[in-house]
Amino acid sequence: MSGREVFERAWRESGVLSTALLPFALGFRAAVATRRLLWRVGAIPCHRAPVPVVSVGNLTVGGTGKTPMAIFVARCLAERGHRPAILSRGYGGRLGQGPRLVGRDGRADLSAEEAGDEALVLVERSGVPVVGGADRVAAATLAVAQGADVIVLDDGFQHWRLARDLELVLVDGHGGFGNGRLLPAGPLREGLAALRRADALIVTKVRPEARLEARLERVARGRPILHARLVAREMVRWEGGTRIVAPLGGLLGRSVVLVSAIADPTSFYELAGELDIHAEDVLEFPDHHVFTQADWQRITQAAGMVDHVLCTEKDLAKLRHLPFARGRLVALGVGMEFDAADGAVLARLLEERATVPVGTARA
C-alpha cells in the first residue's frame, strides 16, 4: 500500500493516524488563515483580468471531477458565442511559473511531460485555448492576448491573486468531506465555512445521501446546490499522432485490463462496470504518475491476451507514447451531465456573472 493510500484510508475516518496528525492540521489551518488575512488586508494583491473569470475548484484533495467540469463550462460558454480560454496550473509538468500556450483547437503544442496530463486533456476535449503555468495572473494576460473574452480557472478555489466573477465549488458525492479534518489529518484544504465563498455548489458523480445534502444546505445557506454526474461518452485512442474517437460499442463484450493513475479511480471503475466488458485485471498507480518503460512492461504482461488496455484520458496522455500494439490502448472518454433544471441554473449563472456584451470594456 502506497503512502497516499494510507492517508486516504485515514481521511475516511477519525482513527489513530488521523488523530496523531491533528497538531500538523492545526498548523495547516493557521497557515491558511494567515494567507487569507494577508489577502484581505491587501498584502497579497488581487488582480482583476479585463475579462470575466469563472473558477472551478473544490475543498478537498483531488477526485471531484474538476477537469471534466472545466471542459463542460468552457464548451457551454463557446456554444453561446463566447471565446473562453482555460487556465491550468500544469500539475505534473515542467511549466513552472509559465505562462505557456499548451494548445488550442483541440491540438496540444506541448507534451504531457511539459504541460501535465490534465492540461492535455483540457486542450483535446474542450477545443478552446489552454494556457498553463503556476502564475495565474500572467496566464490570464496571455489568454486575453490569445483572444479570450472569458477565462475558466481550473482548480482555482484556493487561489487568491486572480479575482473571480463566478466561483463554482465541486463536492464529491461519493466521499463528501471524509472525516472533516484539514490536511494532513483529513482531506480538507480549508474548513467547511469556506463554502460560503462559493456562488454555487456542484455535487458530482452521484446524488449524495440526505445527510451530506443537509450539511451542504446548512453550511452554504442560500447558495444553489446543483448535481452533475460523470457519463461515459466514447472510446478514444491515438494513432500516428491523431486522436481517434469511436462509439462505446467497440468495447462491448471485450476483455480488458484497467489502468489508472488518478486521485480517485472509483468513478472510472464504475463507468467501466456499466459497460458489457470483462475486466481481467486492475492496475493502479499514484496520481499523476509518470509511466516508465518498466510500467509498460508490467502493463503489457498483465494484459496478456486481452483485447484492450483501458485507461482514463489523463493516463492516455502519457501512455500513448509507449509502444503498445496498434489499437490496443484505449481510453474511456467521459463528460459531465446535468439534468435540465440544474443545467438551466448553471447556464443562467454563466450568463449573468461570467460574460460581458461583445465590444464593451470591463470596469
In tens, the pLDDT along 343-353 reads: 999 999 999 98
Confidence label for 262 from pLDDT (cuts 50, 70 and 90): very high
User: Same structural domain for residues 320 and 174?
Assistant: no
- Domain presence at residue 31: no
Confidence label for 2 from pLDDT (cuts 50, 70 and 90): low
Confidence label for 4 from pLDDT (cuts 50, 70 and 90): low
How many domains are there within the chain? Answer: 2
- Domain presence at residue 71: yes
Say which residues have a Cβ less than 8 Å from residue 281's Cβ, sequence separation at least 6: 257, 258, 302, 303
Which is it for the CA torsion 271, 303, 116, 287, positive or negative?
A: positive
Decide if pLDDT at 127 tops 80.
yes
The mean predicted confidence, pLDDT, of the chain is 92
pLDDT at 358: 41
CA distances from 109 to 90, 241, 313, 331 (A): 14, 12, 17, 21
Query: 3-class DSSP state for residue 302?
Result: helix
User: Same structural domain for residues 135 and 58?
Assistant: yes
Rounded (5°) CA angle 177-186-4? 110
Say how far apart CA 218 and CA 169 lie, in whole Å.
16
User: Same structural domain for residues 285 and 342?
Assistant: no
Say how far apart CA 219 and CA 234 lie, in whole Å.
37
> What string of DSSP letters covers 88-122?
E--TTSS-TT--EEEEETTEESS-HHHH-HHHHHH
Region 163-172 average pLDDT: 96
β strands within 155-296, DSSP E: 166-172, 200-204, 225-239, 242-246, 255-260, 278-284
Say how far apart CA 247 and CA 314 lie, in whole Å.
19
User: Same structural domain for residues 142 and 221?
Assistant: yes
User: Same structural domain for residues 208 and 237?
Assistant: no
Say how far apart CA 212 and CA 175 lie, in whole Å.
9
Decide if pLDDT at 174 tops 90.
no
Tell whether pTM > 0.85.
Answer: yes
User: Same structural domain for residues 176 and 106?
Assistant: yes
Domain that holds residue 95: 53-228+337-353
Q: How many CA atoms lie within 13 A of 160 on its CB side?
A: 14
User: Same structural domain for residues 258 and 215?
Assistant: no
Confidence label for 175 from pLDDT (cuts 50, 70 and 90): confident
- Domain presence at residue 214: yes
Say how far apart CA 62 and CA 85 lie, in whole Å.
22
Region 52-76 average pLDDT: 95
pLDDT at 113: 92
User: Same structural domain for residues 282 and 341?
Assistant: no
pLDDT at 356: 59
Say how far apart CA 2 and CA 285 lie, in whole Å.
9
User: Same structural domain for residues 288 and 331?
Assistant: yes
Phi, psi dihedrals of residue 178, rounded to the nearest 5°: 60, -130
Question: Nearest Cα to 353, choosing from 128, 362, 68?
Answer: 362
User: Same structural domain for residues 82 and 193?
Assistant: yes
Residue, of 195 and 13, whose pLDDT is higher? 195
- Domain presence at residue 361: no
pLDDT tens per residue, range 289-320? 999 999 999 999 999 999 999 999 999 999 99
